[in-house]
A = this chain, B = another copy of it.
């Protein structure tokens, strides 16, 4: 069994945003030399997500509006978590809807994807550095 571990550094300049990280994950898989296996991609911070969906700006706008409706940022005081001095309780909730991680199959050395699958980092409390873990395991 071979493995490879890499940490991507994210720095979204706004509170919320989506970043396509498919190319970075493809690079790590290629450099791992794994032909048959799995890759785990997860947010290492608890107010961010990694998820798979479409690279379409209208859809990203819809996600943003929908998540804000399901778990509004304001009023800040509606969340007990924010009594600790934080203002990001909503980000912890939004992250649960979108998920922490994805597992992707590696077949013949490539991400075994359907036609529109793309991997995104979802930031819900940005304006600071965070990390995404990419872990490849499998066989040559």
Taking beta carbons and an 8 Å cutoff, which residues of A are in contact with B? 1, 3, 5, 36-38, 40, 42-46, 51-54, 56-59, 61-63, 66, 70-71, 79-84, 89, 92-93, 95-105, 107, 112-117, 130-131, 133, 135, 137-139
Q: Are B100 and A97 in contact (CB under 8 A)?
A: no
Q: Are B36 and A137 in contact (CB under 8 A)?
A: yes
Residues of B within 8 A of A57 (CB): 80
Q: Are B37 and A58 in contact (CB under 8 A)?
A: no
Cα A79 to Cα B71 with chains together (Å): 18
Q: Are A58 and B79 in contact (CB under 8 A)?
A: yes
Cα A49 to Cα B105 with chains together (Å): 16
Can you identify 12 A-B contacts, CB atoms within 8 angstroms?
Answer: A1-B36, A38-B137, A42-B104, A44-B115, A54-B92, A56-B84, A61-B81, A62-B89, A66-B71, A96-B98, A99-B99, A101-B102
